[in-house]
Amino acid sequence: MAQSMMLLWGSGSPPCWRVMITLEEKKLQGYKHKLLSFEKEEHKSQEVLETNPRAQLPTFKHGDLIVNESCAVCLYLENRFKSQGSKLIPDSPAEQALMYQRMMEGVHLNAKLDSVAYYDFLTPEGERHDSALKRNKEALATELRLWEGYLQNVAEGSYLAGPFSLADVIFFPNVAYAFHFKLSVERYPKLAKYYSLLKDRPSIKASWPPQWFPTSNGDDALKDV
Amino acid sequence: MAQSMMLLWGSGSPPCWRVMITLEEKKLQGYKHKLLSFEKEEHKSQEVLETNPRAQLPTFKHGDLIVNESCAVCLYLENRFKSQGSKLIPDSPAEQALMYQRMMEGVHLNAKLDSVAYYDFLTPEGERHDSALKRNKEALATELRLWEGYLQNVAEGSYLAGPFSLADVIFFPNVAYAFHFKLSVERYPKLAKYYSLLKDRPSIKASWPPQWFPTSNGDDALKDV
């Protein structure tokens, strides 16, 4: 089954990583894949455009079926291979409600991290304002404190919505990204604990990004958030 | 069942509207709800904060379960009430793949519409640039042309992913928002046709927003996109 899958991915992209974690969890190792370089703009190549008109990574095919948006790929794979590998959507209504909620909050978190870590990259020179970057940092800090609160209420050894689920698949790469760019372990102890709990999970370790896209705001772009 | 549900909502908010369409489609009429005013900042009230620390609408409770993010609510309701009312996630793998893809693309479309229609509202006065608004408009036009292409390939009378689905639930309110703010019917004929196909659907008509949040970029903020 996995041999009929093809993933085009970029290293250090949380959306790409989510798909790779899901493929590992669903025991779909052996899928075809190709690492493309963001720096060389290979995500804008004809090879990507044929499958993904957005010229973005991940780009994913399963046989003739195309699903590119990362959360959509995860939902598709979990529903298509329900009884294979880890169960990534829990059965109980309460866990399911929480799972969908945290999963979607995790989707929206990306842009908030990017708005700080990649501020210069995303904003043309003449349009940059210290006040805007400061506001983005404050909004990100408020956001991350929310997650600290969520994790405060999670039972010891438990994950975002009880058992390991798509909520963690979507969220964890964002957390790893945040700590890679030097988010403070002291200011966000619950996030740091969550990171430690998951970083050696086999699916995550097996798909760990070999490198991260450098940010013009520095390798410690998140240190004072 | 519906009597144990409570929705706090704001008029003209695509995320709120999605939840209301889903409740209609799943035959969950009779849910409790309360219309709050964005202009009076009632979404920041204690009543909202008790259920939603983000101080956003929609805010949704089903018994003791809380789900607030709009796409999460729709996924939760469809999975919780699978066999009731319309089936909003198709069974066939091909339709399901396309459904999740379009649903998530629809989620990401919101911010692109807001970045034009609410540019002044979202950007403090000293940080506004004509070049930024122009770039946002171009990005939105590129995005909407993508959807024109998607709809070009849809069979006559069919919806985004075949039968009416969560993809339409998520996407349609964005389309209605775009045309409300005077997106050009001539430049986007497929979107206009899709709008006509769906605007009188009972679930959509029953939940049509009584008013839209005014934009400081004008009631025709999208006319030249």
Question: B186 to chain A nearest CA, in Å?
Answer: 23
Per-residue pLDDT 10s for chain A (225 aa) are: 799 999 999 999 999 999 999 999 999 999 999 999 988 999 999 999 999 999 999 999 999 999 999 999 999 999 999 999 999 999 999 999 999 999 999 999 999 999 999 999 999 999 999 999 999 999 999 999 999 999 998 988 889 999 999 999 999 999 999 999 999 999 999 999 999 999 999 999 999 999 987 777 778 999 999
SS (H, E, C) B172-188: HHHHHHHHHCCCCCCCC
Domain's final residue, options B51, B80, B109:
B80
Task: Say if B219 falls within a structural domain.
Answer: no
Task: Say if B112 falls within a structural domain.
Answer: yes
B216 within 8 A of B18, measured Cβ to Cβ: no
pLDDT the model gives residue B219: 86
Task: Say if B224 falls within a structural domain.
Answer: no
Task: Say if A217 falls within a structural domain.
Answer: no
Task: Say if A223 falls within a structural domain.
Answer: no
Strands (E), chain B: 5-10, 32-36, 59-62, 65-66
Please tell me whether residues A103 and A59 are part of one structural domain: no
Which residues of chain B are under the pLDDT cut of 70?
none
Q: What is the CATH number of the domain that holds B165?
A: 1.20.1050.10
pLDDT in tens, B122-151: 999 999 999 999 999 999 999 999 999 999
Question: Contacts of residue A69 in chain B, CB cutoff 8 Å?
Answer: 100-101, 104-105, 108
Please tell me whether residues A104 and A155 are part of one structural domain: yes
**Tally of structural domains, chain B:** 2
pLDDT the model gives residue A1: 78
Question: B26 to chain A nearest CA, in Å?
Answer: 16
Please tell me whether residues A67 and A132 are part of one structural domain: no
Q: Do A65 and B93 touch (CB under 8 A)?
A: yes
Please tell me whether residues B100 and B182 are part of one structural domain: yes
Domain's final residue, options B80, B110, B131:
B80
Tell me if chain A has a CB within 8 Å of the CB of B94.
Answer: yes
Please tell me whether residues A53 and A23 are part of one structural domain: yes
pLDDT the model gives residue A43: 93
pLDDT the model gives residue A39: 87
Task: Say if A158 falls within a structural domain.
Answer: yes
Q: How far apart are the first and last CA of chain A?
A: 44
Question: Contacts of residue B64 in chain A, CB cutoff 8 Å?
Answer: 94
Mutate to test the interface with A, among B81, B91, B100 (most CBs of A within 10 A): B100
* A150 → chain B, closest CA residue: B53
Please tell me whether residues A22 and A74 are part of one structural domain: yes
Tell me if chain B has a CB within 8 Å of the CB of A21.
Answer: no
pLDDT in tens, B140-179: 999 999 999 999 989 888 899 999 999 999 999 999 999 9
Q: What is the CATH number of the domain that holds B73?
A: 3.40.30.10
B177 contacts: CB under 8 Å, gap ≥ 6: B12, B14, B113, B117, B212
Q: What is the DSSP letter of A182?
A: T
A50 contacts: CB under 8 Å, gap ≥ 6: none
Residue closest to B73 by CA, chosen among B23, B1, B113: B23
pLDDT the model gives residue A115: 96
Write the DSSP assignment of B59-102 as a string of letters.
EEEETTEE--SHHHHHHHHHHHTTTSSS--S-SSHHHHHHHHHH
Domain range holding B58?
2-80
Could you say which of B54, B67, B71 has the minimum Cβ distance to residue A97?
A: B67
Distance of CA A23 to the CA centre of its chain: 14
Please tell me whether residues B142 and B120 are part of one structural domain: yes
ipTM over 0.85: yes
The count of other CB atoms within 10 Å of the CB of residue B104 is 24
Total beta-carbon pairs less than 8 A apart between chain A and chain B: 95
